[in-house]
Amino acid sequence: MGSNQTWISEVILLGFQVDPEFELFLFGFFLLFYSLTLMGNGVILGLICLNSRLHTPMYFFLSNLAIVDIAYASSTVPKMLANLIMRKKTISFAPCILQTFLYLAFAITECTSLVVMSYDWYVAICHPLHYTVIMNWRVCLVLAATCWIFSFLLALVHISLILKLPFCGPQKINHFFCQIISVFKLACADTRLNQTVLFVGSVFVLVGPLCLVLVSYTRILIAILRIQAGEGRRKAFSTCSPHLCVVGLFFGSAIVMYMAPKSSHSQEQRKILSLFYSLFNPMLNPLIYSLRNAEVKGVLRRFLGKKK
């Protein structure tokens, strides 16, 4: 047998392993959150596309984040919802690997996009007079394209290493999607190389970006403290603090998931952590980054007024 021979055709996603009645409750609960994710990010995309006032670098990055969030949640949630109401909770091996790839790619894109957005905020607040020169449209497009290309290439590295493994079972994944660590357990070969590459990649796309985000927001906070007007300082703090909370929730849960020792958290705890950064975070982003923005709320009110 070649080293890349696959012996299993499908795997069983064990999901949350609760009573059937509670599965229906979870289905409704997660469907609500997923619908809010699609609706919130869709509204942001629509408002930014339709209103010329919002055709600025900051809103360009917000629309990019909305696209990432929709794709990110959609890579896992629909299959999870289907499994909650179906008796046969299986997924073919090829779609399972594709799900792993897309999930990794969109997760990394989310990390890098948050870094770019924090840099955009830093330039806007700390260098307002040079903002249009520093963050011109060419720079914005290059930054956004770099996030996507880098993320998909890094995800492709992980998938290429996975496909070199022989898979002979077990045919069960104790998760609600084909999460990469769970996929490793399907291999009947040594996966230490894969785990090492995953850990190094996690340092590179989680710890590194988190440090860059914190540097940007630290400099932003220093600039805010220099604001003389109390009202201006209060508004700036009320904007930055929710951003930091969302960033901390996303990066913190992902770091615990991929970099903490295996024995430190049970599999059920890991599933809950996965929900935080794969479902709840994409739902919170439009609320925190966009719908709390006075300009976006003004555009939304005018749009709803016209509809009435």
Please give the Cα distance from 49 to 30 (Å, whole number).
28
Burial class (CB in 10 A: 0-12, 13-18, 19+), 270: buried
The per-residue pLDDT for range 207-253, each reduced to its tens digit, is: 999 999 999 988 888 888 776 666 666 666 666 777 787 788 888 88
Average pLDDT for 101-122:
93
Q: Is the pLDDT of residue 101 over 90?
A: yes
Residue 14, pLDDT score: 86
For tokens 């109390």, the residue is 230
Mean pLDDT check: name the lowest of 27-41, 99-113, 154-168, 288-302: 288-302
Please state the pTM of the whole predicted model. Answer: 0.89
Mean pLDDT of 4-29: 81
Q: Which of 52-66, 95-109, 122-136, 270-284 has the lowest mean pLDDT?
A: 270-284
**Quick one: CA dihedral 163, 168, 174, 175, positive or negative?**
positive
Lowest mean pLDDT among 28-37, 170-179, 234-243: 234-243
Instruction: Tell me what pLDDT residue 41 has.
Output: 93
In the block, tokens 């906070």 appear at: 221
Mean pLDDT of 269-297: 78
Give the CATH superfamily of 10-299.
Rhodopsin 7-helix transmembrane proteins (1.20.1070.10)
Please name the residues in contact with 103: beta carbons below 8 A apart, sequence gap of 6 or more. 72, 75, 76, 177, 178, 179, 180, 278
Mean pLDDT, to the nearest integer, of 81-107?
92
